[in-house]
Structure 1
């Protein structure tokens, strides 16, 4: 496994571990689910920290490798558009009095953004992750509309589990021998 690939997998574990930690903190839940969410958040944070260690170690081996400016620029544009859509959408929903559905919108935006990121990051498995996140968002919307359960509970738990699982998978891939 080359240093650049190892670094990318470490970054995936770092970023998705952090975001999984954040998603696990979205739901307002009672015990025992609250306890499970705290444990999940802790595991996701540990995964992120281990991903950071992988990045630091890989950086030493990749010090002489040039970056890819075009890919970096595309990545930046995709993330900027994602953030703009999520923030503007959240403001619109809040303005309409539908704040409960902000996690649904954000989860859809995050899921959709993985599709154009897959070729940029050369990770085709980001597409099924994005689809799964969109399905979690849809599930949260349906549950919130059909029951007294908050959308954030379904979306935060589901998105946290998906992102943490993917982060852990990326971290495990770095443990394979070269």
Structure 2
């Protein structure tokens, strides 16, 4: 479950904390009223975790990282494919009048793209994050229909929770192992 390089824990906390906050925010598009406070708390916690991760990344900058020239290039390709697929799918869904499904599509793309990212940086916990987000995205539509909820709430809240949990794990790991 652990990354080889402690600096990569800290950087993962930054990225996952930020995106956890974003997913909790997306879930606030049309959630049940009782979810609003929890979603807001998740967003704030995600941002605070990202800030803690950023401070640790700065503190640990001299440490080794999985990112060398080849890894950085491959990572850039994976992220470019992710952004391209997410954008293309979102545009096609919007053109078909299915904006309500964009959050599900983006979560699916995010989940799938995390599998090669986990391998590239050698952080096995990210495989679990990838699997959970992918499952959430696939289950979102039937769950939303069955419970009469918005797809964005059904996909955003658990995706935010998965990312926040991984960010917290990463920031705590960086803090413990980095000192």
Deviation track 1:40-66 (CA, whole Å, cap 9, x = no partner) reads 11011000000000011011x339x89
TM-score normalised by the chain length of structure 2? 0.90
Segments of structure 2 that go 5 or more residues without pairing to the other structure are: none
Relative to structure 2, which stretch is displaced further, 151-160 or 31-40? Answer: 31-40
SS of match in other structure, 2:26: coil
Deviation track 1:46-95 (CA, whole Å, cap 9, x = no partner) reads 00000000011011x339x8951000000000000000000000000011
Distance 1:66 1:5 in 2: 7
CA contact (8 A) 1:9 1:170 kept: yes
Root mean square deviation, CA, Å:
1.9
Deviation track 1:92-148 (CA, whole Å, cap 9, x = no partner) reads 001101110101100010000011111111112211211110111122111234342
What is the 5 A alignment of 1:32-71? Answer: 32-59=34-61, 61-62=62-63, 68-71=68-71
Moved over 6 A (4+): none
Which residue matches 2:152?
152
Which residue matches 1:25?
25
Aligned-pair distance for 1:175? 2.4
What is the 5 A alignment of 1:94-109? Answer: 94-109=94-109
After superposition, the Cα gap between the structure-2 partners of 1:94 and 1:78, relative to the gap in structure 1 and judged at 3 Å, is same
Distance 1:144 1:174 in 2: 36
TM-score normalised by the chain length of structure 1? 0.91
CA contact (8 A) 2:78 2:117 kept: yes
Which residue matches 1:91?
91
Distance 1:89 1:42 in 2: 29
Would you say how many aligned residue pairs link Structure 1 and Structure 2? Answer: 173
Distance 2:123 2:5 in 1: 11
